[in-house]
Amino acid sequence: MKHLFLITLLASSLFAQAQDAVRTADSLDVAYFNWQNKDLKTDKIMGMSVEKTYQTLIKDKKPAKTIIVAVIDGGVDIKHEDLAGKIWVNEKEIAQNGKDDDGNGYIDDIHGWNFMGNAQGENYSKEVYEYVRIYRDLLPTYGELNSTDGLNEKQKAEYARFKDSEQKLNKEREEYSQAGKDIAQFEMQYKQIIAFLANETKVEVNTKADLAKVTSSDKTIQEMVKYLEMLFDNGFSAAALEEYKKDIDEKLNFNLNPDFNPRAEVVGDDVHDISQTNYGNADVKGPTSEHGTMVAGMITANRTNQIGTLGVAEGVKIMALRAVPNGDEYDKDIALAIRYATDNGAHIINMSFGKGESPDQWMVQEALQYASDKGVLLVHAAGNDSKNLDVEPNFPSPYNTSGNKIPLMLTIGASAKEKGKEMAASFSNYGKKTVDIFAPGEQISTTYPENKYKLVDGTSFAAPAVSGVAALVWSYYPELTVQQLKEILLRSGYKAGKQKVIVPGGDKKDIVKFASLSETGNLVNAYQAFIMAEKMNTKK
């Protein structure tokens, strides 16, 4: 059978968001439910010992302080059943009166702000990648140029950047166009097999379990059954096929389309001018809120309502800041969102996004430094490209404009459920100097819009795992300084440095010590963090 490489693609599923069915609360997969909060010693699972913390150290206690966690993402479904009572309210603002009551520059910002829209309530959700924007911006100047003769050094650098972007764009469009053709041929073959089996054996095959009903001595039918078994064993499903087709379509029509420019139509600002801030609206959910809702649930899904999943921290309010599209975010939006969170009382900022290029990174660097100087803990996902961030950057970078590490910024890699060689998630970025610590980010059950739930993968969920533990500790020990909190998170983690693991993106022969993948070589652990917080607080 042909197209076997597609099976791997369908099974692996782009990692930032796993191709698992959207579920209701009563149909969550118990095999993965809440594993990130379990304990290695008690449950034999590489979780963060959150349940152990609640059941022992803080069993009869209540949070001393509510911690505000800003979620800069693609939007949050603030009406989700498992986020009830967990959404930040700007009490200085009067809802829907069309006025900036608190004088912070944003009208009716009750739960946060949407930086991907306009004052008329129009929003957008899809965007091109950053290198496509670079190509588009430089095309009028360098599109017809075939030589660098007569160019100054700055122009030569721009020309080189243009050609690099052009080459990458053409390569990506060609690959996705071919993938579209391949998947169409694969789908036709798959449907022909299903139809043939239904006609010859009267069995409708939708899952592996259906194959057990097929009984035949015909060799052709037996070969078809084996082929379908192989598909299902590799994670194939009709839903995954449709989602993969949708992804190819979105890549070609939106992410990799230089003519697609929703920002110009909806907002119309100069994206390189951070002084232009008069845009956006108060719709923090927006047209797409899947990713941000999943992140928010990871941090603080209601632990006492007897439904859905269990977030890490109870005493938390989520400030929703919509600034991340399906595509690459604008540096300006991220910078303004960080400043909004800082100026409006956020204690922690979760940033589950990233990109490979950042033309206006100075905006973000200055905003991150501003937040750090104000005592805000910054938590950023390392990214899902299986690359070494010490060699290849993922933006926003944890370094400021002077090249020094931003003091209160953490970069988080993703770990898996089982202890052993596959403990570092295969998709996770890593880096001895750049990544600080790892946290659960593979096969995580969390909230999904419209009161649904989903099983997901990605450092996007490892970051809120750390944000959740940070908020949990801080809510019980508000006397701790943010510097102490950061130290506790890093030093108290489960010491996994000596564990030999497969380097993310490598094969079974690429074995390294876990300590080589991050600065600490640790996995974040709530129980150990509480013990250290108590000792530090007692000394204080």
User: Would you name the residues annotated as active-site residues?
Assistant: 73, 291, 460
* Three-state SS sequence of 107-171: CCCCCEEECCECCCCCECCECCCHHHHHHHHHHHHHCCCCCCCCCCHHHHHHHHHHHHHHHHHHH
Cβ proximity of 308 and 453 under 8 Å: yes
Q: What are the tokens at 301? A: 């899904």
Phi-psi region of 55 (alpha: psi -120 to 50; beta: other; left: phi over 0): alpha
Cβ proximity of 353 and 324 under 8 Å: yes
SS3 8: helix
Between helix 219-233 and helix 153-201 the angle, nearest 10°, is: 140
Alpha-carbon torsion 154, 157, 159, 161, what sign? negative
CB atoms closer than 10 angstroms to residue 303: 18
H or E stretch including 499? none
Q: What are the tokens at 439? A: 């946290």
- Which is nearest to 61 in space by CA: 535, 472, 369, 522? 472
Beta strand 500-502 pairing with 511-513: antiparallel
CA separation for the pair 297, 71 (Å, rounded) = 11
